[in-house]
Amino acid sequence: MKEKIFSFIDNSTAIAVELETELTRRPAISPDSGGEGELDKCVFLESWLKSHGITQLERYDAPDKRAKGGVRPSLVATIPGSDTADGAPRLWIMSHIDVVPPGEASLWKSDPWTVIQQDDGDGRGVRLIGRGVEDNQQGLTASVLAALALVKQGIKAARTVKLLFVADEENGSGYGIDWLLKNVPGLFHKNDMVLIPDSGDPKGETIEIAEKNLIWIQFSTAGAQAHGSRPDQGINAHLAGADLAVRLHEELTKKFSDHDPLFEPDYSTFQPTKKEANVPNINTIPGDDVFCMDMRVLPRYPAKTVLAEIDRIKAEVEAKHGVKITYTLPQCHESKPTSKDAPLVKLLSRTIKEVYHVDTRPIGIGGGTVGAYLRNAGIDSVVWSRLEDTAHQPNEYTLLANILGDAKVMALLMVRE
Ligand SMILES: [Zn+2]
């Protein structure tokens, strides 16, 4: 059976190129980034799958007036497996339909929306070039090839397979996976397994199972403006803000000091980042000050514990300087990790070894990906693929060998117990 699957995939180069080409021709850019959304691309994919024998399809349209058709569509393709008992775990492969804009046009050597093939003669074979060919159409195409290898050859999957093609991954998932989890009850079962082929490394040896908790925080400090020579007549909001930034960096780092080798870096980070302009001239003491911090905290520390410590330090700085400090949280996400001993992690690790002959290791990342939505819903989810990491860059490319190789891994995942 493995030989049948592998040879089908090895002979699917033309299908992979065709699908990549047709998908790339239909730019699915979010209205947030000035595009019209995913409708054209999703409608195309739906009919393409149908004409290739993947016929059990459901569309879920998140309403969005700004987008073409007023919707942000996601699509689910179901390939029934041998174990269809109620509550039997299903294998999901989730890729996203949307792409980011091409960016600076002059940096592209070819038209971003026309896939071209190129062989650099470096022994790694043909690469496809175009916006979206890697992010996330490598994973999307690989998942489709894997499914076709079964469907076209009458091979039954061990468990029901669900290919999920979501909208709105690049701009926060509010019309994508987050919307699906909130608006389509029962779509996922608790014991389902989800592979997200949307990040990885050139060897395919890292399996992402966890994220740090993510806290983005913006502080506004109100003091009193004064002449630069008369601090006695004002309250320097910038000085208080700077004091707060330094104290938060030092004290939070000390308080939340655990290390976890799953992550890189293996500790929590508390970084002052954006700083808004205050006064335009050097000889005025600013009465208002705004700065931001980007915090990535090991999952063992709940966000509310960190925020309580922030409140304590903030109160001390307010008292010391006589200022009023408020803050907003542009982002605050927690993420439960998927266990490194979860069946999905073990099974994936085995199949990667079989296809690519590499030993895998589980890793955690800085945070803020779609995996968190599913993990927080209690569903085992891992992010993996073998890729060049050219996402969002000009001249984005994918190796044909990676599409076919990842398809083999996915097909084995579908058939193995
Ligand atoms: Zn992506």
Q: Per residue in 271-304, pLDDT tens?
A: 999 999 999 999 999 999 999 999 999 999 999 9
Q: Could you tell me the distance, in angstroms and rounded to a whole number, from the CA of residue 76 to the centre of ligand 1? A: 18
Separation of 96 CA from ligand 1 center, angstroms? 7
Residues 45-70 pLDDT 10s: 999 999 999 999 999 999 999 999 99
Distance (angstroms) between ligand 1 centre and the Cα of 397 equals 13
Q: Calculate how far, in angstroms, residue 177's C-alpha sits from the geometric centre of ligand 1.
A: 13
Model pLDDT, residue 335: 86
Annotate 107-123 with DSSP letters as a single string: G-SS-TTS-EEEE-SSS
Provide the token pair at 348.
Answer: 């994936």
- Looking at residue 405, its amino acid is G
Q: What's the gap in Å between 118 CA and the centre of ligand 1?
A: 23
pLDDT of residue 247: 98
Cα gap 356→346, rounded to integer Å:
15
CA of 43 to the centre of ligand 1 (A): 20
Token pair listed for 365 = 């990342």
Question: How far is residue 125's CA from residue 142's CA, in Å, rounded to a whole number?
Answer: 17
The residues with which 210 forms a beta bridge, in sequence order, are 364
- Residue 86: predicted pLDDT: 77
Residue type, 285: I
Can you list the residues of the chain whose pLDDT is less than 70? none
Nearest 10 degrees: Cα torsion 169, 171, 175, 181: 60
- Across the strands, what pairs with 397? 129
Q: What is the per-residue pLDDT for 367?
A: 77
Question: Which amino acid would we find at residue 270?
Answer: F
Task: Tell me which residues are annotated as active site.
Answer: 98, 169
Residues with CB under 5 A from ligand 1 (ion): 135-136, 198
d(CA 10, CA 3): 10
Residue 331 CB-half CA count within 13 A: 18
Angle between helices 13-24 and 400-415 (to 10 degrees): 110
Say if CB 109 and CB 395 are below 8 A apart: yes
How far, in Å, from the CA of 242 to the mean position of ligand 1?
36
- Are 380 and 131 in contact, with CB atoms under 8 Å apart? no
Phi, psi of 412 (to 5 degrees): -65, -40
